[in-house]
Structures are given as structure tokens and as C-alpha cells.
Structure 1
């Protein structure tokens, strides 16, 4: 009805202008003389049809920024191997959005392409992440370890979500931070934000916090290895169960040797596997909220876009896990997919980092920092107890 009313109103206005037009307007096709009239060099700017190519080329500056950011992040990782490439990409993205002379281009012409990288490239990277996980590897760790991982994820997620709401954090920040701490850092935040329709600023703030705490874990956890009485295998499982990003887990666990690194990666990938059911649950919740909102707004004729029950990239992630489990994928293909996944996620995290606005982060910095610290204690404490009970 609103659309019909708008059409009727527009038709009435158009007819009124036609009836009241001057003779000189009729001779120029309904335009006043000199206003948008055709010239010898072609139609005026107002009359030219929009070029479809502009919609695609407007993403090029931002994608170029992302490519440069990935190259710089790779260089930082090569020079300082303890710094994961994904962590470097987020930090460089934040820096690019605040350095004078660059920030205007990043937040201006580069914005569409960086937003595209933060969303679309993130999805592809998450799908390829599934090729790291095999069901045989998970079963090899035993049901006790699997139960420990589920307990850590559930306790961290709901504890962080509850505390974030109690602290009064804005928007979806409690949900996104809880997801990042409990599953796999910035990658999980990007996946959940896709189905929750989260504000870009909330996403950027959550990514910045989770990345910062994960980076600190690289330096702090190895110092606690021996004081906590953990052997190398236990330390590896503790790192895999408590550190956020896969790259940060590798950087933390490698300090205890190859055996610790192997267990850490397997435990971490078990957490990654829980990304699919979590995203599906958030999608169901989002559909319920929007359905309720649509019923409340039924009189105005508005309705929200219904997110899919299981997003396509989550289906792709599960398919990648199943494909890896079959053993049909050659090792060379798995290695190439791993490099591609790292590059895509680095580009996506650079884009998300460029959306961080530090002044806004500072305004809520106290509450965000408190939530980050408490969540860190929860995930580290629960996983430490779980490791001791299962080994």
C-alpha cells in the first residue's frame, strides 16, 4: 500500500508539472532552456546513464590497500616470526586508518573495497579453514578432550556474553567478543557478524580487543608453562584451548616444542569446528528477532531481511571438513589452500582493522578492557582445569 501510494503521488506530481509547463519547456523535452540540455559534445551529466563498471571499479582502491597490507603483514611475520601474519594485518589496518595522509584515502576512496575484503574474503577464508580439520584427528584426541573443549567454549561464550551485557556494552559487542574468545578470534567474529547483521564499528572494536588479548597471550602463556606445573603436551593443549586465533596458538605453543605444537593445533581446530553450530544458532536467533520485529511493525508494512538458517559459507566450511576427512585431497593442494586461506584472512582482517576508530574505542575502553580481561581469565582458567582433568 505504501508503494502504491507513493506511485500515485508521483504520478499526480508529474501530471501537474506537465500541465503547468511553459511552451519553451515543451520544445526542449520538458527541460527549462539551458538546464541539462543536450550539447554538441554529448548528453549532460544529468542525462548520461550510469556506468555499471563504476560499481565494480570503486572497490579497486580498497582492495589495493588490502593487498599492500597483506604484503606488509607477511614481511613483518618473516622478520619477526613470533608475530603471526593475521595479527600483523589487523594492527596494520588500524594504523592505516589513523596515520595522517593515509587515513583520508582509507576512510574515503578505499572504504568500499576494504569493507568488501572484511566480508566476502573472510567468508572464503573460513571455508578454506575447514580443510585444516579432519574428523579422524578429532577422534584421535579422545572423547575426554572433546568434552573439555566443548565445556571451555560454552563457559567462555555464555560467561562473556552475560558479563558484557551487565557492563552495558553497546550493540552486538558482547556477542561478538564472546564469539571471538570462545571459538577462533577475529575469524569467528567475522562469521557471526555476517548472520547477526552487526554494526561495522561493533565488529571492528571486537576484533581489536580479541586481537590485542591474543597477542598478549603469545608473551604471557609461555612464562606460565613451568610455574603451573604443565608438561609440554599439557601446555600445548592449554594453549590450543585458551588462545584465540590459530596463528596465535601456533606462536604460543611452538615455544614448548613440536609435540606441544601438534596437540595445540588439534585442540584449537576442535574449537574451530564448533563455529558452524554457533553461527547456525545465532542465525536462528536473528530470524526469531526479526520475525518478532516484523510482526510488531506489521502495521507499517516493514519487514526485515531473513538471514539463512545455515549460511552458505558455513555449509562450505563443513564440506571442506568432510573433504579433508576423506583423505582424497593431495598434500600439495592442502598446502596451497592453507597459504590461500592465510592471505584471504589477512586481507579481511586488514579491512576490519581499518574500520577501527580509536577515539570511539577509548570512550568505551574501560568497560571493553574489563570484559576482555575477565574473559581471558575465564577461558584460561576453565581450559587449565580441563587439561589437568583429561591428562
Structure 2
């Protein structure tokens, strides 16, 4: 067995730390300003100001290339760590209960979204792979689903970029519009968490949207979103079978690849919640972990804002954006309809 890389691990980690430090510092500084804004204007929270400040900075002057590794690190890994820490405010029985309660809404919205992507995408004359990517990105979990599905269907890098750019736009809009919708409909935190967890795309956007609405909605929304993320597995397997029959352009699913589709932070979230269920996490430590998580969320969203790429959105053209908008409205309307049908709006 070749263990040559092990002696170089400390050096590689230190080089990686140096590589991301500047970008992380930029995101942390933006998050600190957003936190101050959130304390001055509590209704805004820290998540929304973080992404808005980041977007404004990116529009005025795109961050230098040396900041990009740290910005990507902040918007991905630090967000995943934040999600893991959020498990400290939940217990395993609650997670199982939420998963069972949200399953009808998740399955209903996913079915409507994928059907809509096929029908509307064909009507708009969007290439099949691109409409599939926009469909799974909207119906499951944004960029994560797009990244998981793209090799399965043999999508080109340009198609992946177009799909992610389209989803990104509606992620940002969701952070602003969904809390307003929730308050207009007078939704309680439980119901809004279910809506946000099933109708908002990326995990980061779900966390930010629920956080803006209220801290009480955050934990519930994250659980719903993480359960929804698991839909990547059956969808990827199904697309793999279809692609294998149609052409040799995709890849075949293996047990190892199926296991690799389970996000590590989902496992970490469940493990922390399991520890919390046993009572081994003291109350003071639990409160501290939640506060750290909230700051990491602001840091991650600052990174997402700073990585805004308007030229990529322009290159995507109007058709994917129209498809994304229609699917977004369909998923939101379906989620609200199923919640109402099951008595959720009357809580």
C-alpha cells in the first residue's frame, strides 16, 4: 500500500490554509458587518445582509483571483460545517418525525417539478440535458443535485454552468421573497420551515431564507432540506438507467457511487443530533454551537454573494431563466397546495 502522501499531509494542509486565508478573511469581514446590521435591524437577521453586501461588492468590483479559493471554501465547506452544528438544536426523534411529515410535500413537488421541466423545457426548445439539470436543481437541492446528475447524463461543462447560474438567481430571490410570502400568508415557523425546505433550492438558500423568517423556522427547514437532498440517490439511479439504455454518454451507477451521493454533512448533522438526543451536549455549549453556526452561515452567504457572476447569467440566455422561473413558481404553489390539503396552513 502506498502511504507516501501521509508524510506530506501537514505541508499540504498548511499550503491549503494559506491558499484560502485571504478569501475566507474577506467573507468573515463581510459576515461581521452583516451581523452588526442584523443586530441593528433584527428583522433582517445576518444572512440576508451578508448575501446582499456580497452581491453589491461583486457588482461594483469582482473579487481578485487570489480571493476565489477562499470564497469557494467559505460558500461550500463552511456552510456544510454550519449545517452540521445546527444538529445541536434538534433530536433524532424530531428528525424522523419531520422527515415522515414532509415526505408527501417533497414527493409531490419533485414529481411536479420534473414533469414541468420535461414539458415546459420541450415547449421552450431547451436541450434535454440542460432542462434535466434545471429540473433536478429546482426540485432537489440546487447546485449539489446538478453536480451529482451531470456526469450521469453526460452533460457538458457549459450546460452545467448555465444550469447553476439559473438556479443561483432564484436562490438569491428566494432569500428576499419567501420570508415576505410567509409573513403575508401568516405562516407559523413550523409551516414556513416546511415550505422553505421543499420549495427553495440550495441548502444555503434554505438556511438563509428560514433564518430571515425567524430562528424558530431554521431547524425544521434544515431537516426538511436534508431529507429532500436524499432524493438525489433515486433520481440519479433512474437517470443512469435511462441514459444507459439511450446512449453510452453517461456513467453507470455502482453501489460505491450511490454511497458517495450521500453528503458528508448530512451524516454529520444526524450524528450531532444523535449526541444531542442523549443529553451529552450541555445547554451552554449547545447555545454556543448554534451561534457559531449562524455566523458561519453569514460567512458562507457572503461568499455566495461575492461569487455572483452576471456574465454567466447573460450567457445562459433567457430560455433557461424562464424555465427556472416557471419551475420555481410551480414548486412553490405545489408545496403550499399540499400543505393546505394536509391541514398545515391551519396550524
Shift of 1:55: 5.0
Distance 1:60 1:242 in 2: 36
Distance 1:95 1:126 in 2: 26
1:380 lines up with 2:341 in the alignment: no
- 1:25-54 CA-to-partner distances (Å, cap 9, x unmatched) read xxxxxxxxxxxxxxxxxxxxxxxxxx9765
Shift of 1:65: 0.8
Find the structure with the greater CA-based Rg: 1
Q: CA RMSD in A?
A: 4.2
Q: Name structure 2 gaps, 5 residues minimum.
A: 1-10, 151-156, 201-205, 251-255
Q: CA 1:169 to 1:78, structure 2 compared with 1: closer, same or farther past 3 Å?
A: farther
- 1:261-310 CA-to-partner distances (Å, cap 9, x unmatched) read 85x55652441241452354577679989999xx879xxxxxxx968243
Compare 309-318 and 68-77 and name the one that shifted more: 309-318
Residue of structure 2 aligned with 1:336, choices 274, 288, 296? 288
Native 8 Å contact 1:171 1:202 kept in 2: no
Residue of structure 1 aligned with 2:65, choices 102, 108, 113? 108
Residue of structure 1 aligned with 2:275, choices 300, 304, 323? 323
Distance 2:257 2:96 in 1: 36
1:282-297 alignment, distance < 5 Å: none
What is the SS of the residue equivalent to 1:356?
coil
1:355 lines up with 2:307 in the alignment: yes
Distance 1:241 1:312 in 2: 23
- 1:173-218 CA-to-partner distances (Å, cap 9, x unmatched) read 8646754x556xxxx4465466557857754552332121331122
Native 8 Å contact 1:238 1:384 kept in 2: no
Q: CA 1:157 to 1:218, structure 2 compared with 1: closer, same or farther past 3 Å?
A: same
Compare 66-75 and 205-214 and name the one that shifted more: 205-214
Give the number of the structure whose residues are more often helix, by fraction: 2
Q: CA 1:370 to 1:327, structure 2 compared with 1: closer, same or farther past 3 Å?
A: farther
Q: CA 1:165 to 1:119, structure 2 compared with 1: closer, same or farther past 3 Å?
A: farther
Native 8 Å contact 1:62 1:109 kept in 2: yes
Q: CA 1:379 to 1:332, structure 2 compared with 1: closer, same or farther past 3 Å?
A: farther
Number of residues paired by the alignment? 309
What is the SS of the residue equivalent to 2:66?
coil
1:125 lines up with 2:77 in the alignment: no
Q: Which has the higher contact order (CA 8 A, sep 6+)?
A: 2
Residue of structure 1 aligned with 2:194, choices 241, 247, 250? 241
Distance 1:337 1:172 in 2: 39
Q: CA 1:175 to 1:250, structure 2 compared with 1: closer, same or farther past 3 Å?
A: same
